[in-house]
Amino acid sequence: MYSMIFLVAASFALSLILTPLFRNLALLLKLVDMPDHHRKIHSVPIPRIGGVAIGASVVGAFGLLFLFRLRAGVILSADLPFALRLLPAVTVIFCVGLIDDIFQVRPMYKLAAQIVAAILAWESGIHLSSIGMHNFPVILSFLLTIV
């Protein structure tokens, strides 16, 4: 229980620290979404790389959980090999989102990258293999998981 409270508090604190830093970095590097008064109705430029601060906060909070060897960290360590197998899929999604924030990726390319990430997730063990008592053949499981 205390481990989960620590995880929430650490993630919140890191978000409070990192979000302004990444906001300032985005403003400095001009990585902002400019208002155009048509589709983008905000009144001031909005920094585009806020997801990096949130991602770093989550990773940092889990890192602190493992560093301080709290009970939840020990429990989560048992699932670390699975998390590491999922890392390529997560990395694809994160990188495409970041690249889209900076360069504006076309929707078809984003969809293609998301399909690649879903395939990587399926390969790592994320499967929709049954609903209720109905098991699916492998090819149907693969397709449903991707969708």
List, in sequence order, the alpha helices (H) in the chain: 2-28, 50-67, 71-77, 80-103, 107-124, 138-146
Kindly tell me if the per-residue pLDDT of 114 is higher than 90.
Answer: yes
Structure tokens at 29: 């590097």
Tens of pLDDT, residues 20-69: 999 999 999 988 878 777 776 777 888 888 889 999 998 898 888 878 87
Reported pTM: 0.77
Q: What is the DSSP letter of 39?
A: S
Spatial CB neighbours of 102, under 8 Å, sequence gap ≥ 6: 31, 48, 49
pLDDT value at position 72?
66
Strand partners, 81: none
pLDDT > 70: percent of the chain: 94
Confidence of residue 18 (pLDDT cuts 50, 70, 90): very high
